[in-house]
Every structure is written in C-alpha cells, then in structure tokens.
Chains A and B, each alone.
Chain A
Amino acid sequence: MNRWLPFEWTMAVRFLREGRLQTIFIIGGISIGVGVIVFMSAMLAGLQANFIKRVLTSQPQIQLLTPDQVARPLRNGAGEIEDAVVQRPSQRVISIDQWPKIRARMQAMPEVVAVSPTILGSVLAVRGDASRSVNLSGVEPDSYFKIVKVPDYIVAGEPRLTSEDIIIGIELAKDLGAAVGDKINVRAASGATRVLTISGLVDLGNKSVNQRVCYAALRTAQSLLGMIGGITTIDITVGDIYAAEDIAQRIQAANVVEADSWIKTNAQFFTAVQAQQNTNTLIRLFVGLSVAFGIAAVLVVSVIQRSKDIGILRAMGTSRGQILRVFLVQGGLLGFVGSLFGAALGAFALVYWHSVARQADGTELFPLILERSLFAYTALLATVTGLLAAMAPAVRAAKLDPVVAIRG
C-alpha cells in the first residue's frame, strides 16, 4: 500500500482499479469528449487566427478618412423650422485637412503601433494595347509595410518602392502581360501620366483584388493624382486588434476625420467568428454535460455496488466526510485521467487533420496551434467536471445508513 497516498485516495484508486472494465469504458468516453473539445477548440482557434492574420495583414486595422462632404441648407432666420430636401453632394477626392498634425497625434497614442499616410485613387494601367482600371495606393513603404505586410505577399520581385517603382497584383500583371522589371504607363483621370517599373508582384489571396491592386511611392502617387502634399487616408495598426473599434470611435470624436475600424468594415466576418465561437461553446457545453452524466452514472452504479463496503468502512469508524471524499476523488481522477488521454487523442487528430486538410492553393487550412494552456485548461475543466459529477453519488454514499448498507 502506497504510504504517500491518503486513505481516501487509496480507497478511490482501488475501487476504480477493481471495477476495471467500468473504469476503462468511462475513461474512454471522457477521452473522446475531451478529444473533441481539444480538436474543435484548437482547429477553430487556428482557423480564426489564420483568417484574422489574412485580414489584418492585408488591410489596416483603422483607416482615417476625410469626413463626408455634406450640403448645408441656408436658414432664413433663427428658430425657423425647415423641412428641406437636400441632395447629397458628390464626394470630391480631397486631402485630409492638417494630416501631419493628425498623424503626430496618432503616433502619440499608446494603443497605436504604426501610422502611415496613404493616398488612394483610380488610375489606368496601360501596357501596349492592354489597359486596366486599377486602384493606386501611394504609400510610405517604411511605415505602410508595418501595417499591410506587402513584403509577405510578394510572389515575384521585391518590395521596393522608389519614385520610379510600382508593385502590382499578379492578376493585373497577367492581364497586362507584364512581369517584374517591365514598365507600364500609369494614367490618371486628369491626364497626368508616369512610366513606372514593376518591382514586385503581390498575391493578396483574392482574384478581384489582385486584378486591381497597385502600390507606388507616396510622392509619385500624389503627383499622379494631382494632390501634391495631400493624402486621402491615414492607416493605423493598434496593439489590441479587438479594441480597434473602440479606439476608432475615440479618434473620430477627437479629430475632424472619419475613422473606420476593421471590425466595422468586416462586420460579416465578425458575425461568422461569433457564430463559430457560439457553436464551439455549445458543443463544449454539451460534450461536457455528457461527460459529467457519464461519470455520475458510473459512480452511482459504483455506490450501489460498493454499498456493503461502505457499510463496513462506516462500521470501522470511517466518517461520512471520508466516504464523501472517496467518491469525489474517483470523479476527479476519472476526469483528470480521461482528460490526459483525451488531450493526446485531440492532439493526434489535430496533427492528422492538419496534414490532410488543405486549401485550394495547397497551403495549410489552419495553422497547427497546440497551446499548453488549452491542454491545462481542458484537464482542469475535466477534473472539475468529474468532481461536480461525483457530488451527487458521493453525497448518496456518505448518507448511506450503515445498517442498510451492510444488509445490502
């Protein structure tokens, strides 16, 4: 007999060992339940991380824009109520007023990680007979690449943006029949034209985006779009991505800009994430409940099977508290041991699924994230579930009348 194990643990371990088949089956059940939770949680976390990474490395988390231009109807006099029908004015492309000051203010905010001024506009990319309407982003590469990880998406060439360079999407390159090193004409609506050299091709993972995306140096784009010294947006990255909307609202309240967070502009994605999380929580809840009921059922049967042993133990001077703990320990042990096997099962399934499931382009469907905290959390949860599930049978065992128990 192990001298380090307290009485209750000794009894619990022996009872579980003696009811071997029962113990093996319930541990199997718990393992499958825990395995499902580990697999689902890790896979969904991976899918979400992958998706968020894709979304957040290809677009700014907060974008500051010029406020909407609105028509203000004149009033005849103070206090006079009007019911004017006001036509929305066309929105001219204008620069953000006082943008260097706003940028400095943003850079001073502790939540903000990177700030980059950008100019956006539509231009025509022309090469030979081929021409395509594209979106030109004029950026400062040093700061912009911290926000949108353009270098990560480069599939040919390099992320270089001198005043003569342009980075274009791979689909656009195909449409124009151009490759890295080729020159293309970029023509603005005003008629201004620049010849730029393709320094790199990017693949942002979306065909229509890849057909229209172009990056040039800020000054090049400013001169092309006829907005010398002006910018149309300030792009921002923040430390806590989920606080982006809150920060955007604060920025908008304190500055004459419109601030859009990625949460607002990707509301649909957020709804999907939320739905996924809700589904995952529900699955966890029901798997947890079925595990708890399984443990409780086995222990209830065990209490009935062990009633004579319980009676004898009570006759020998074992207290109600000790009997209670014997069954609680059994519940906790079942949960804990089941969680260990379950974690291994879940990890194995995850590794297997990760190697099998691929995206259309052959890349991994989700990153393999095996966080220790997930296993620790699951083991803790399973142990607590086991303890809680054992509560009713344990109380029943502790309350057994020894006379009735011995008589069986």
Chain B
Amino acid sequence: MASEILRLENVCKAYNVGLPTETEVLHGIDLELDHGEFLALIGPSGSGKSTLLNIVGLLDQPTSGRLLIKGRDIADLGDTEITHLRGHTIGFVFQYHLLISAFTARENVMMPMLADRGFASADIEARADRLLAQVGLEKFAGNLANNMSGGQQQRVAVARALAMSPDLVLADEPTGNLDTKSADAVFELMRQVNRESGTSFLLVTHNMDLARRCDRIIEVVDGRIRA
C-alpha cells in the first residue's frame, strides 16, 4: 500500500467566526491522498473546493479538525515551519496570474529555489532549464512572462511548481483559462510528471473529461464530500 501524503480529519472552515455573519463553508471534510496519486476535486462553484485547496496548501487554516501532511499535524507547527513545509513539500499551480511578470520564464521557475537558498547559482539555473525542457519550453526560457501565451505560461507554472521536487502539487483549475488543446497539453504534462516522478496531484477542475482521466474523483458539494 502506498504511503499517505495527506490526511484531513473532520476539517471544518468557517468565516467571520463569532459574528452574526458567521458562515461555515466546509463541514467535516475527511480526505486522504497517497503518494503518487492523481486526484480530481470537482464540484460546482462556491462548493468550497478552493477553500479546501488553500487549507491543504497551508495558505489557510481550518477552524476545526486535523490536517496532517506527511504524518505531521499542522496544528503543532509554527509559521516558520509551515512556510518551510509549503516551500519544500507543496507546489502550486494557479488558474489566474500564473507568473511574476517582472521575470523571465527561467527566472520564474528559479524563484522557489532562490527563495529557499537566497542566491542564484549555476545549479539552480540548470535545474530551471531542465524543468523548462521537460515542459517543452526550453526555447522560451528568456521570455518575459507577459510575452507568452496562456498555455505556455501555465506550463511554466507547472515547471515552477515542480522546482523544489514537491511531494504534492495543488492545481486550482489550471486549465480553466485555456483552450481545449492547451488544456489537454497541460493536463498531460502533469500526468506525465505524476507517472515519472511519483508526485501526488490534487487537481481542482470543472472539466469532467479531465477529471475522468485522474486516478480518483472526489466531489465537493455544499462544503461536504459526496460519497
């Protein structure tokens, strides 16, 4: 049996806690994700998918319940450890605002490594080039983010998410803004990385065709996982 990378136990998330406008958006979520698994998270808009993804990505905290990443309870960690865990264990691919516009494709891919080590180096540049080659964009390494198409930017974002060799990549509708062909290419790229390196993926999508090509589909409706 594959080892577990992620576990959520009865995770709830509410906003405006203690106020008359208190709203609970996640109600007792239980979820497990194994190493090397490619999971699709589907559901209608406003169902709590992105909130769940933010909690898993350590960008947000649950109101109650337990979140364990690689067996470590997040409640026991301080801000520095959470930042470190986020940098080393988790990679993000966002739907909008994919790259930092002031930097080239190569520099965007280098960014997580640069933030971790403090200085650029030949090693970091070489790894960024390898990752860009992996996503088929070695020729665009020197292009500024704004000078690339949406599909190209998203592939750079995938390369960036893989820069720190994370155990888990969280992708929030990464193909939502792309045409069918580009969406397919980006999905295939992630699937390939998943197969080759064993990186786990948690993919939020509205595209049922893509979801069906994942290992498992979880549907979130009104803040609950539908069995």
Chain A nearest CB, measured from B173 CB (Å) = 13
Among the listed stretches B25-33, B103-111, B132-140, which one makes contact with chain A, having 4 or more residues with CB under 8 Å of it? B103-111
How big is chain A's contact interface, by range?
Answer: 20 to 34
A376 at the interface (CB under 8 A from B): no
Residue pair B54, A316 in contact (C-beta under 8 Å)? no
- Taking a contact as CB atoms under 8 Å apart, the answer to whether B114 and A317 are in contact is no
Instruction: Give A6 to B121 CA distance when docked, in angstroms.
Output: 11
Q: Are B97 and A406 in contact (CB under 8 A)?
A: yes
With known contacts A10-B114, A312-B97, A3–B54 Cβ distance under 8 A: no
Whether a CB of chain A sits under 8 angstroms from the CB of B84 is yes
In the assembled complex, B88 has its CB within 8 A of some CB on chain A: yes
B60 touches which of A318, A320, A403 (Cβ 8 Å): A403
Contact with B along A198-229 (1 / 0, CB 8 A): 00000000000000000000000000000000
Known contacts A1-B120, A312-B94, A317-B84; is-contact A7 B102 (Cβ 8 Å): no
Complex contact B115–A315 (CB within 8 A): no
- A315 adjacent to B102 (CB under 8 Å): no
Indicate if A391 sits at the interface (CB-CB under 8 A): no
CA distance A309 to B96 in the complex (A): 11
Question: Is B120 within 8 A of A10, CB to CB?
Answer: yes
Taking CB as reference atom, which chain A residue is nearest B106? Answer: A1
Task: List, in ascending order, chain B residues with CB within 8 A of A316's CB.
Answer: 86-87, 92, 111-112, 115, 160
Residues of A within 8 A of B100 (CB): 309, 312-313
The complex places the Cα of A100 from the Cα of B138 at a distance, in Å, of: 94
Indicate if the CB atoms of B118 and A7 lie closer than 8 Å. Answer: yes
Cα A5 to Cα B107 in complex, Å, equals 14
Contact with A along B154-174 (1 / 0, CB 8 A): 000000100010000000000
Indicate if the CB atoms of B87 and A317 lie closer than 8 Å. yes
A15 (CB) vs chain B CBs: closest residue: B102
Cβ 8 A contact of B102, one of A5, A17, A402, A403: A17
Known: A317-B87, A317-B164. A406 touches B112 (CB 8 A): no
A294 to chain B, nearest CB (A): 22
Pairwise interchain contact A7-B115, C-beta atoms closer than 8 A: yes
**Given A7-B118, A14-B102, are A315 and B107 also a contact pair (CB < 8 Å)?**
no
The dominant DSSP class at the A interface is: helix
Residues on the A chain within 8 Å of B54, using CB: 403
Smallest CB-CB separation from A307: which chain B residue? B97
Q: Please, how many residues of chain B have a CB less than 8 angstroms from a CB on the other chain?
A: 33
Compute how far the CA of A6 lies from the CA of B120 in the bound complex, rounded to whole angstroms.
8
- With a cutoff of 8 Å between Cβ atoms, the chain A residues found around residue B164 in the complex are 317
Q: Which residue of B lies closest to A406 (CB)?
A: B94
List the B side residues contacting A322 at CB < 8 Å.
115
On chain B, the residues within 8 Å of A1 by CB distance are: 107, 110, 114, 120, 125
| Residues of the A chain whose Cβ atoms lie less than 8 Å from the Cβ of B192 | none
Contact check, B59 vs A315: say whether CB atoms are below 8 A apart: yes
Structural contact, A3 and B119, CB atoms closer than 8 A:
yes
Q: Does B80 contact A (CB under 8 A)?
A: yes
User: What are the residues of chain B within 8 A of A14 when measuring CB–CB?
Assistant: 102-103
Write the A6-50 contact mask toward B (1 if CB under 8 angstroms, else 0). Answer: 110010001101100000000000000000000000000000000
Question: Which B residues touch A314, using CB under 8 A?
Answer: 59, 83
B116 interface residue per 8 A CB criterion:
yes
Q: Are A315 and B119 neighbours in the complex by a CB distance under 8 Å? A: no
Q: Does B209 sit at the interface, judged by CB under 8 A?
A: no
Q: Please indicate the chain A residues that have their CB under 8 angstroms from the CB of B150 in the complex.
A: none
CB contacts (< 8 Å) of A406 on chain B: these are 59, 94, 97
B142 to chain A, nearest CB (A): 11
- What are the residues of chain B within 8 A of A319 when measuring CB–CB? 80, 83
Q: 7 tightest A-B contacts by CB?
A: A317-B87, A18-B102, A14-B102, A316-B112, A318-B115, A308-B97, A1-B120
Give me 16 A-to-B residue pairs in the complex whose CB atoms sit less than 8 angstroms apart, sorted by A's number: A2-B120, A3-B119, A7-B114, A14-B103, A15-B102, A309-B101, A309-B102, A312-B92, A312-B94, A314-B83, A315-B57, A316-B87, A317-B112, A318-B87, A402-B59, A403-B54
Q: Which residues of A are in contact with B by a Cβ distance under 8 Å?
A: 1-7, 10, 14-15, 17-18, 308-309, 312-320, 322, 402-403, 406, 408
